Amino acid sequence: MQRILLSTAFLVLTTGVALAGTIRVENSDSKTHTVELSCSGSKKSLEIRASTTTSYTFHSTAKSCDITGGTLEFPTKKLEDGQKWKIKNGVAKPN
């Protein structure tokens, strides 16, 4: 019985730790951009290279991160898992 309780407690505690979010970004600009994020209290920085399409993963205990700065304008204050963005002329739009 004690093993079952310990196993259940372990699973519950580790489930929240293993979360990550991924966004897909298409950068049509010939310029590299940065996005500053705050994910569950941790600061992250994404570098979005010029003229590329790629996926970025942010590891966090949540499925979203707050946008705190960078060289891009986003129509939202939060990036969430599964979003797709297109960057053109320094502005990000949902794709």
Q: Give Cα 59 distance to the centre of its chain.
A: 7
pLDDT in tens, 16-66: 455 688 999 999 999 999 999 998 888 989 999 999 999 998 877 778 999
Within a domain: residue 63? yes
Provide the residue range defining the domain that includes 72: 19-94
pLDDT band (50, 70, 90) for residue 11: low
Within a domain: residue 66? yes
pLDDT surpasses 80 at 88: yes
What's the confidence (pLDDT) of residue 12? 54
**What domain count does the chain have?**
1
Number of H helices, E strands in the chain: 1, 8
Q: How far apart are the C-alpha atoms of 6 and 63, rounded to whole Å?
A: 26
What's the confidence (pLDDT) of residue 38? 93
